[in-house]
Amino acid sequence: RGKRAFIAGVADDNGYGWAIAKSLAAAGAEIIVGTWVPALNIFESSLRRGKFDESRVLPDGSLMEITKIYPMDAVYDSPEDVPEDVKTNKRYAGTSKWTVQELVESVKQDFGSIDILVHSLANGPEVSKPLLETSRYGYLAAISASSYSYVSLLKHFVPIMNPGGSSISLTYIASERIIPGYGGGMSSAKAALESDTRVMAFEAGRKHKIRVNAISAGPLRSRAAKAIGFIDMMIDYSLANAPLQKELSAEEVGNTAAFLASPLASAITGAVVYVDNGLNAMGVGV
Q: What residues numbered 152-181 form the site for ligand NAD, per CB under 6 A?
A: 170-172
* Binding span for ligand NAD by CB under 6 A among 60-68, 72-80, 131-139, 152-160: 72-80
Using the rule CB under 6 A, is 224 a contact of ligand NAD?
yes
Q: 3-class secondary structure for 138-153?
A: HHHHHHHHHHHHHHHH
By beta-carbon proximity to ligand NAD, the closer residue of 87 and 223 is 223
**Which DSSP state fits 159?**
G
172 is catalytic: yes
Using the rule CB under 6 A, is 107 a contact of ligand NAD?
no
CB of 3 to ligand NAD, least distance (A): 21
- In terms of DSSP bridges, do strands 66-72 and 30-36 run parallel, antiparallel, or are they unpaired? parallel
Other Cβ atoms within 10 Å of 236 Cβ, number = 12
Question: 3-class DSSP state for residue 104?
Answer: helix
Query: Measured at CB, which residue is nearest to ligand NAD?
Result: 15
182 is catalytic: yes
* Binding span for ligand NAD by CB under 6 A among 3-11, 22-30, 152-160, 200-208: 3-11
Using the rule CB under 6 A, is 143 a contact of ligand NAD?
no
For 160-201, the DSSP string reads: GEEEEEEEEEEE-GGGTS--TT-TTTHHHHHHHHHHHHHHHH
Q: Which of 70, 148, 150, 182 is catalytic?
A: 182
Which residue type occupies 157? Answer: F
Contact 212, 197 (CB under 8 A): yes
What x/- string results for residues 227 through 266 when contact with ligand NAD is judged by CB under 6 A?
Answer: ----------------------------------------
Using the rule CB under 6 A, is 275 a contact of ligand NAD?
no
Q: 3-class secondary structure for 222-253?
A: CHHHHHHCCHHHHHHHHHHHCCCCCCCCHHHH
Cα torsion angle, 243, 244, 249, 254, sign: negative
By beta-carbon proximity to ligand NAD, the closer residue of 120 and 269 is 120
Binding site for ligand NAD (CB under 6 A): 9-11, 14-17, 36, 39, 72-75, 120-123, 145, 170-172, 217, 219-220, 222-225
